[in-house]
Structure 1
Amino acid sequence: MVTLKTQSFKENPGRCRMAAVNMSDLHEEGKNAINAPLLPSATDIHPEDTLLEENAERIMLDPSSRENLKFKDLLKVLIDWINSELEEERIIVKDLEEDCYDGQVLQKLFEKLSGRKLNVAEVTQSEIGQKQKLQTVLESVNELLRPHGWTIEWSVDSIHSKNLVAIVYLLVALAMHFQAPIRLPEHVSAQVVVVKKREGILQTAVVTKELTSTTEMMLGRFERDAFDTLLDHAPDKLNVVKTSLITFVNKHLNKLNLEVTELESQFADGVYLILLMGLLEDYFVPLYNFFLTPESFEQKVHNVAFAFELMQDGGLKKPKARPEDVVNLNLKSTLRVLYNLFTNYKNTE
């Protein structure tokens, strides 16, 4: 049997000290309650945010943006792209925050895309080692991208602290620069909560970050050519160019009793491009190599990508356009592909 013995404050002076501590805690809770209206109700402020030093700040993704369908779609596209690029490395990314923060995946991805080998340790477990690797990787990335006008929206600390917006900014920049064979969702933005400490008080602000723009703008960031000038400044001459290209392709497709009247739509499934390459290079393309009547977006992309491979086999440079953009009826992309054929095969009978 346990007997409980009560004690007065005089009998136990330690309890007086405990009461004082409790009063201090109560005062702190009251202070926090006064400051609470400054914090967005939908945002979870982590305990470490309250430990910010004076004038320091922390940036977090707003939970509402994390649940945005377009944002989720962008994350999936980027994850699938990374896994496709690093398939030979047997690297599988499931979560961008958890899998990219230590620099290992970013190192392998940059090396694959750029063809450059970075002088970094293969495996780093310590925080210092991870940040050193990130430093080397990001210096190489920034050195490559900055001359092309990119605003650097990432840093060693932001990536290592698993700032998802910074990670996405970096991956989108790499995908655009290296013209990845993916279609980034348009007009994706995210709201971030910026938490700062001023005079001991946490202050917050919600800022909208634009992660992607239109496909046309994203493609045009690094590529301005005669077709940009034509469509921007001399649209009246566009029909002349289209007529010349239609005449060229029909000269060859007519041999198969095929005829083109609309460039952007009739080449979108890749079938005419494949048949045209066979005619120009004088060979038969086996039907099992492509979809003669493609139904899905993926099948059409397969066809256009296969046509691009045939072009490269014929000695042409890799088309600047992406298969996805031809399939999506992007006129400039289709014109670029056909004009490239025209300049190389215009004298072919």
Structure 2
Amino acid sequence: MKIKAPTIRDVATAAGVSITTVSRYVNQAQRFSPAVEATIKSVIEELGYRSNPLAQSMITGRTNNIGLSVLDVSNPHFTSIIKGANRVATEHDYTLLLVDIDENPGRERMLLESLSRRVDGLLVYSRLPEDDMDWMASLEKPLVFFGRLSRLALPTVTSDDHRGGYMIAQHLVAMGHERIAYLGFPKSHRDQDRMAGVRDCLDTHGLPLQAFGGAAPTAIEGERRSADIMLGEQRPDAIICYNDMMALGFMQATQALGFRVPEDISVAGFDNIQFGRYASPPLTTVDLRSEEMGVVGMNTLLSNIGDDASIDLTLLEPQLVLRSSIKRRALSLG
């Protein structure tokens, strides 16, 4: 026979107080005398009463849920963001509700509008053009955006992509490379900053940049573009890929074509995903501090939920991770 779960009425009767008193105590909406609070607490523990989260949210206006949208949960960059955000959420007794956009901008508005009705705030990673994002500001929930914004007044958290691009290009130049290519992902807002950093560095050294575009930020796309780049008329001696996933795919396909990495071409990426260190050779990368991005984003959002509103940009400093996918080139004699 199924045992009936205790109700708030049962708690009120056993404690000798009103249902309203128990409700206000459970939802921390009002303080009572130490004796009354001790009695209610004792009865709740004795009966094993558990409050209804839905009913509690109707009283307090809070769900204790945070929404997080990412572009592709299979990409380790985003799983690191989730890990950092979830750690902070758990420390503050919040539950993280995740939405995977799956690199499909057409689903984004519908999913986020639905999610916004079940959470106290939102962390959003998006590829939508900023001109198409006005509806985000009208969701009537605190929102933190991962990336840069030029027009919308929202708090933002991102890594310094321009500096990261400059850093890795500078390292390649210092290692004697003169024919440097960039394999990007033009649909990403951050791609422009990364390529601009690479280009600005090469301009200071009087070196050209070969730019190639990819249709997706995936290992499969990096693999697909390898033949076009390596068998072309002007084969680069180094390539910087938009992210580590593309770099790993490019490196595998390039080796399958008979080229050696890094002897024939040096390869680098962005994100410092854990698989990069186990590649052959291990991948040089720019660590954009993905997990820290999730931590900072969640802390910023919780501050905004707590009425400590801010629309500042938090810019995380990238770090260069040097591994053996880059090799020093012999000095040019010409």
User: Common fold, TM-score beyond 0.5?
Assistant: no
Higher RCO, Cα 8 Å, sep 6+: 2
| Structure with larger Rg | 1
TM-score bucket of the superposed structures, by smaller chain: under 0.3
Q: Under a length normalisation based on structure 1, what TM-score does the superposition of the two structures give?
A: 0.23
